[in-house]
Amino acid sequence: MTGQGTGGAAAGSVAALRITDAAAFGRVAVVMGGQSAEREVSLDSGRNVLAALRARGVDAHAVDGIPALLDALRAGHYARVFNILHGQRGGGEDGVLQGALESLRVPYTGSGVLGSALSMDKVRSKQVWLAQGLPTPRFVALRRQPGRSTAHAAAEVHAAARELGLPLIVKPACEGSSVGVSRVLREDDLDAAAALAARYGGDLLVEEMIVGDELTVAVLDRQALPSIRIVPKGEFYDYHAKYVAEDTQYLCPGLDGAAEGEIRALALAAFEAVGCSGWGRVDVMRDRDGRNFLLEVNTAPGMTSHSLVPKAARTMGIDFETLCWRVLETSFAREAELAAGGAP
């Protein structure tokens, strides 16, 4: 092993690789796909990660979903796991997979049980940030209750809108990739927004809409990478703008001077506040007065041709193959914790 960590710095130079021999990773399972609403994005990410690791000589293999992965691990087929599943309920980003891997004493990339579970639940993430004095948009959480009528649910959304005021965002509390998200500018659009969000499991989140710039900050091994300011062709950075459109602009770094340092420090603080580790991405809105508001943490960010973590890494001179290698390196910290009988 060579090199050393960045010690929590918000910015800085790129450290040397810790692992220089691909054989040190052993046989690696790249788990992708799964059963969540983000399955197709995960498959795309997984194919890219698999190709990058193999290009660097890593003995990496694709595994589709959690059941197949656990069967293979029980049979002793893999030494560690690169988790590129997205989402909850079979998506591998909500702490369930992480708990299973820790019970099997298998090291893996990304956040542990606590960080994954908290980050997947946007309501609880926001509650932690508020307790830590970190800024996030005002919100109302609507708990899903068995047997609650559609009319009752719609009435709750309208009540939340009256409390927060328009414009606002309605979204599932536990989905990613902009799945089920609506911008509501008029009261007449509330029912359709609530119905869309309700198609997905879990609670609903009605959130103040911050008008301004959308930015994201990647975190890799306790270092915040340069921010990216996202400028979609349309008004909203939705699923189409993220994964399909070729006209979305990505400006990196997204800010200058002290403002850039501020948003990186905020992202790192938010990431650590919810117990995250390894790598991830923090999404932030910056209003027209220059105030930052935390939206969510992604603990297994996309690695597609449109994804943001590779764009930020490239700005620091880290190509895609090296980025995947560095993410896989973080599994050694998990391995050390498991060997010591603990987990973050």
Q: What is the DSSP string of 209-241?
A: PPPEEEEEEEEETTEEPPPEEEE-SSSS--HHH
Q: For residue 6, what pLDDT is reported?
A: 34
Integer Cα distance of 302 and 159 in angstroms: 35
Could you confirm whether 281 is annotated as catalytic? yes
pLDDT in tens, 83-123: 999 987 767 889 999 999 999 999 999 999 999 999 988 89
Residue type (1 letter), 188: D
Could you confirm whether 243 is annotated as catalytic? yes
pLDDT in tens, 268-291: 999 999 999 999 999 999 999 999
Q: For residue 12, what pLDDT is reported?
A: 57
Residue from 18, 89, 281, 326 carrying the catalytic annotation: 281
Could you confirm whether 298 is annotated as catalytic? yes
User: Does the predicted TM-score (pTM) go above 0.75?
Assistant: yes
Residue from 121, 208, 214, 283 carrying the catalytic annotation: 283
Integer Cα distance of 211 and 192 in angstroms: 22
Could you confirm whether 200 is annotated as catalytic? no
Integer Cα distance of 139 and 207 in angstroms: 4
Residue from 213, 227, 243, 307 carrying the catalytic annotation: 243
Could you confirm whether 296 is annotated as catalytic? yes
Residue from 36, 38, 90, 208 carrying the catalytic annotation: 38
Q: What is the mean pLDDT of the chain?
A: 88
Angle, helix 320-329 to helix 39-55, in steps of 10 degrees: 100
Integer Cα distance of 286 and 175 in angstroms: 22
Could you confirm whether 177 is annotated as catalytic? yes
Q: For residue 3, what pLDDT is reported?
A: 32
25's tokens = 């990773």
What's the sign of the alpha-carbon dihedral 159, 165, 167, 172?
negative
Q: Say if residue 283 is exposed, middle or buried (CB neighbours under 10 Å; 0-12, 13-18, 19+).
A: buried
Q: Binning pLDDT at 50, 70 and 90, where does residue 294 land?
A: very high
Residue from 221, 302, 307, 326 carrying the catalytic annotation: 302
3-state DSSP assignment of residue 159: helix
Domains and CATH numbers, the chain: 118-135+211-320 (3.30.470.20), 139-208 (3.30.1490.20)
pLDDT in tens, 118-142: 998 889 999 999 999 999 999 999 8
Could you confirm whether 302 is annotated as catalytic? yes
pLDDT in tens, 182-224: 889 998 889 888 888 777 667 888 999 999 999 999 999 999 9
Q: How many CB atoms lie within 10 A of CB 99?
A: 16
Residue from 45, 227, 298, 307 carrying the catalytic annotation: 298
